Amino acid sequence: MTTIALITIVGGIMIISGILGAVLAGIKNRDVSVWLAWTFLIPPTLLILLLLPRIKGTRPRRPTLDEEDTMSDHV
């Protein structure tokens, strides 16, 4: 196996893992962008996401940048 083939296979695994992580995070009601990044960079984290339980209720909302700035000004 050549180096190019190995890089292509690893890259494909990373892309597929990232997509599966995003879909699974959406199903489990978790932050999609965080899990997409972690499962893309470290594909075995997909197994951790599989083991985590589904969050009940609505998906946690991340504050906007303006809201974060407002919160940091009050501290």
11-67 residue pLDDT tens: 999 999 999 999 999 999 998 999 999 999 999 999 999 999 998 887 777 778 888
Confidence at residue 75, expressed as pLDDT on a 0 to 100 scale: 58
Which residue bears the tokens 């700035």? 69
- Rounded distance, CA 64 to CA 43, Å? 28
Confidence at residue 74, expressed as pLDDT on a 0 to 100 scale: 65
Tokens representing 28 are: 């489990």
Dmax (CA) of the chain:
58
pTM, two decimal places = 0.77
Q: Quick check: 71 pLDDT over 90?
A: no
Confidence at residue 63, expressed as pLDDT on a 0 to 100 scale: 78
Confidence at residue 8, expressed as pLDDT on a 0 to 100 scale: 97
